[in-house]
Structure 1
Amino acid sequence: MQSTLETILNHRSIRKFKNTPLTSEQIDTIIDAAQHASTSSYMMAYTIIGITDPAKKEELSRISTQPYVKQNGHLLVFCADLYKPISKASEEEYVKMLPNLENSEHFLVSSIDAALAAQNAALAAESLGLGICFLGSLRNNMGRVDELLHLPKHVIPLFGMAIGVPDHQPEIKPRLPKEAVYFENEYRHPQNEIDAFDEKISAYYQSRSSNQRKDTWSDQMRRRFLKPIRMDVTDTVQQKGFNKR
């Protein structure tokens, strides 16, 4: 088992897995680690759904358009969940709770709770020698994922995580320099650091062992925000009772 810092600093996304299912002990360890993440006000406002049904894996893979969504050792879907915390409320209490349930604060709280749990799960998996890949691509059709998993009101699917025995070893992708993400006392525009990082990431893309290309971080971000993406997510989120106020 690797040290915590070694595990963190060696992280890379794995998109090709061996055909080796996770053991029940591995799954239990990963979920236990997820459950020990920090949680706002002891709400534990998330749910983790393990996908073992091959047909559901297949459909989620089609939604994601990524083959490793079905070809992995185990697939998890992380959900923001405000249903469990209020599941024993009376109908009268529920009506009074709605403005609170539907506000942006609790949308953020439940999403952050799920993200913290997921990061713990990722660290646990990697410390066991497994690889992981986060799957925001499940939001390509958030409504269909919601239907497929039979999620009640006040529960939404946020992202997935593919876990398994790595079948490749991609290079660690460079990160922005510390000076571009850590400021003291106030925000500072890090233009010089971004320019230097663009040069670094351009060299990385041209020298890596697979999927070589000519690109920069700023160009990637420019393309991302110029093209509308997943514009149906807002409607789905609000229909499920989140972020309406």
Structure 2
Amino acid sequence: MINKMLSRTSIRSFEDKKIDDETIKQLSQVVNSAPTSMNGQIFSCVFVRDKSKLKFIKELMDKNMPSNSVDRSFVYHASLLAIFCIDLNRLEYACAKNNLKPVLGGLDLLATASGDAYIGATMLMDASISLGLGTCFLGSIKGITDDLKQLLKLDGNIFPIVGLLIGYSNEINDIKPKMNKVYFEEYSLTDIKNEVDKYDTIFSNYLLKRNSLNKNDNWSKPYSSIMSNNNVYKVLENNFKNWVKFN
């Protein structure tokens, strides 16, 4: 299993093949077994397999997300899209049932619910990979939350935060080199800067030599360009802020 995790890549080309019902059941059990802070159960997951819905979701992202030039056809070719959501409906009902009023909208609750949802999503990714399936995270679903709420009947106090595509890999990408993120005993800001410089060189060589879409670039330049552009994630930010106001 460790070797499978170390060789993991994001899959953006899937075979047109269904995942059998028994495997779907196993994957759903993995999600249900995921830990939540204080056993609060403040995330939910919707499994989407209907091809017409997957195609509609792909078209919504093409329409609403800034990078319209991105080919997202892999979205509807996948066998399954698991959409993980911050879900405070159970919390609200538990409080109402006990004649209490929940404190909603706080940063700690939002951070905890987001963390729980991502833990569940990561467990599902790990389980899928262990079964020989390919996966790809979709953070851009936060840009189409209003449409998803209607499409998936996400009623009440619930917000889609990340999607995970799962299917049978049609094409395996080159393994992308990763930067060090582990420190022993204490953190080092000096090491961070040195590692970024080193990684720029490593990543540049990777981009030049990879089998497809090779180009002359590094890691820090395109990443910092995106993250310093106020308009790139405007849709995602506004959707999340509007939901927070609702709380």
Is TM-score (shorter-chain normalized) higher than 0.5?
Answer: yes
Letter of the structure 2 residue corresponding to residue 214 of structure 1: N
Amino acid at match of 2:5: I
TM norm structure 1: 0.88
Q: CA RMSD in A?
A: 2.1
Q: 2:92 aligns with which of 76, 79, 86?
A: 86
Question: Which residue among 70, 74, 90 is the counterpart of 2:76?
Answer: 70
Runs of at least 5 residues in structure 2 that lack an aligned partner in the other structure: 63-71
Which 5+ residue runs of structure 1 have no aligned equivalent? Answer: none
- Which of the residues 33, 37, 46 maps onto 1:36? 33
- Tell me how far apart the structure 2 counterparts of residues 154 and 109 of structure 1 sit (CA, whole Å): 15
- Partner secondary structure for residue 213 of structure 1: coil
Equivalent in the alignment of 2:159: 156
Pick from 101, 104, 109: which aligns with 1:101?
Answer: 104
In the TM superposition, 1:1-245 aligns within 5 A as 3=1, 5-65=2-62, 66-90=72-96, 93=99, 96-97=101-102, 100-178=103-181, 181-182=182-183, 184-189=185-190, 190-227=192-229, 228-241=231-244
Q: 1:198 to 1:143 in 2, by over 3 A?
A: same
SS of aligned partner of 1:86:
helix
Using the alignment, how far apart are the partners of 2:4 and 2:26 within structure 1?
A: 16
Contact 1:63 1:137 in 2 (8 A): no
TM-superposed deviation, 1:51: 1.2
Who is 2:66 aligned against?
A: none
Q: Is the 8 A contact 2:48 2:54 kept in 1?
A: yes
Decide whether the 8 Å contact of 1:17 with 1:164 is kept in 2. Answer: yes
| Percentage of identical aligned residues | 26
8 Å CA contact 1:153–1:241 kept in 2: the answer is no
Q: Residues 44-82 of structure 1: CA distance to partner in whole angstroms, max 9, x if unpaired?
A: 211110113333212211123311111111111111111
Residues 102 and 91 of structure 1: CA distance in aligned 2, closer, same or farther (over 3 Å):
farther
Maintained 8 Å contact 2:145/2:160: yes
TM-score for both structures, normalised by structure 2: 0.87
What one-letter code is carried by the residue in structure 1 that aligns with 2:75?
V
1:112 and 1:55 mapped to 2: Cα distance? 30
Per the alignment, in what secondary structure is the counterpart of residue 240 of structure 1? helix
Matched position secondary structure for 1:172: coil
Cα-to-partner distance string for 1:160-180 (whole Å, 9 max, x where unaligned): 1111110011111110035xx
Please state whether the residue corresponding to 1:232 is helix, strand or coil: helix
Displacement of 1:243: 9.0
Runs of 4+ off more than 4 Å: 91-94, 241-244
**Aligned residue type for 1:87:** Y
Q: In structure 1, what is the Cα distance between the partners aligned to 2:226 and 2:79?
A: 30
